[in-house]
Structure 1
Amino acid sequence: MDILLIGGLWLDGSTAWDAVVPALRELGHRPRPLTLPGQGDGNASATLEDQVAAVVAAVDASAGKPLLVVHSAACSLGWMVADARPERIADLVMIGGFPHDDGHPYADLFEVRDGAMAFPGWEPFAGADSADLGEELRERLAADAVPVPEKVARGTVRLNDPRRYRVPVTVLCPEFTAEQARTWVAAGDVPALALAERVEFADIDSGHWPMFSRPAELAKLLDEVASRA
């Protein structure tokens, strides 16, 4: 199966999935990490709409219905793509995050300076988010982090097609548990997924970045989702 891999904020496609891609290939899949406009291609003026268009184009170019894997803040990006191509996605896998509703800011989370939102350091991610990352890996990730263009971070989530609720969703739960995620969705704290017709949950014993700390386990879980899809 074609598997499109999209990292969250500050990650590009060239390094974020390096350890996951070989494992997925060994399992018989065709993984494709995507470098989003403005996050690895040098386009500092990229917009959220540019990123959505890039992922939609990758979905359209896939053989059959691909597995769309999105991480962290990119869960909203994946939801926007599901809205644009509800009939073309086999399963939308959300790692460590949940999608925003229509009209919500995409990821206006940290200070924007000189037109970009730089990686803020590890202090905001202390605790369960980063506990499984060694010092050397933290230094490497911080050095490789790509500032997010302002028009991406401060872009607005736009949704139009209610058929997105028919797209199967799988939430992989790293720094929180599947049971917690089920409770949040059932309580209405994640309105987008409360209306989704099929949502599955699975635990992964990692922090917020399992593609770096648990790549083999992550690949196995993606293979299981692909088998169901």
Structure 2
Amino acid sequence: MTTNTKNPTIILIAGYWLGAWAWDEVCGHLTAAGRRTLPLTLPGLDASDPRRASRTLDDQVAAVEQAIAEASAAGADSVVIVAHSGANAPVSLVLDRDPGRVSRVVWVDSGPVTSGTAFAPDAPAELVELPLPPFDELAEHASIDGLTAEMLERFRERAVPEPGPVVRQRVELTDEARWAVPTTLVCTSISSAQVRELADGGHPLFAEVANLSDVELIDLPTGHWPMWSRPDALAGIIADAASSSME
């Protein structure tokens, strides 16, 4: 997949409990380097939205598709999507529905999801929302390496609970053309070697990686939130990935 666009629009989508604000430092570095950025707050993660807790995965997909359309309307012939952590569900669906609209996807300590999976398929129907857990509990599932006390305090203050419908909904994928979208995996809390081993072994979290036809894995040793722990290095990787999307 090639394009003549010299400066693609970079759409950045953070994972659970986070909005566009999570990318402030990364966007600062990218903008200083002359890159066009569009950080998103997915439906359900806007604290001012009175219907926030009822937003669905489909709503989030529609928001990403709208962002792509807005970038195209503004003159961008090329779009690079950066998806962190739990943003992998809506972004996987976007790639499945129209893979030709994205010139490259950058997964940050994440990867494409496997069809039929859900974040919490056994979550009860009465679960209205999933709040950010205590950090000692969170650290059992996602590394908080590199995060200072100040960063964690900001995380706690600004985190928005994830809507129940989003965590329960299964991702259904049908178009194998999604596997041909050029892909960069930024490996932070686990190494690229571990990711390849898990992918080759069919591990549910990385099984889709084995199907990708154009993929590069880049190590950036830190925790699960490199947009805070190593924003300059992450911005550099994203900028390089955006440049490679033009080749």
TM range (shorter): over 0.9
More deviation, 177-186/210-219: 177-186
**Structure 2 residue matching 1:31: 3-state secondary structure:** strand
- The CA distance in 2 between the partners of 1:135 and 1:216, in whole Å, is 19
Show the counterpart of 2:106: 93
Normalization by structure 2: what TM-score? 0.86
Cα distance change on mapping 1:171 and 1:102 into 2, 3 Å: same
Give the CA deviation at 1:94. Answer: 0.5
Aligned CA RMSD, in angstroms, stands at 1.9
Normalization by structure 1: what TM-score? 0.93
Show the counterpart of 1:21: 27
- 1:76–1:98 Cα contact (<8 Å) kept: no
1:84-116 residue CA offsets vs partner (Å, 9 max, x unmatched): 120011111111112321111135598997610
- 2:145–2:224 Cα contact (<8 Å) kept: no
More deviation, 22-31/109-118: 109-118
1:1-229 correspondence to structure 2 within 5 Å = 1-13=8-20, 15-40=21-46, 41-42=48-49, 43-62=52-71, 63-107=76-120, 115-126=128-139, 129-189=143-203, 190-229=206-245
What stretches of structure 1 move > 6 A for 4+ residues in a row? 109-113
- The CA distance in 2 between the partners of 1:218 and 1:111, in whole Å, is 37
Give the CA deviation at 1:219. Answer: 0.4
The unaligned stretches of length 5 or more in structure 1 are: none
Q: Percent identity?
A: 36
Number of aligned residues: 228
- The CA distance in 2 between the partners of 1:157 and 1:183, in whole Å, is 24
- Higher-helix-fraction structure: 2
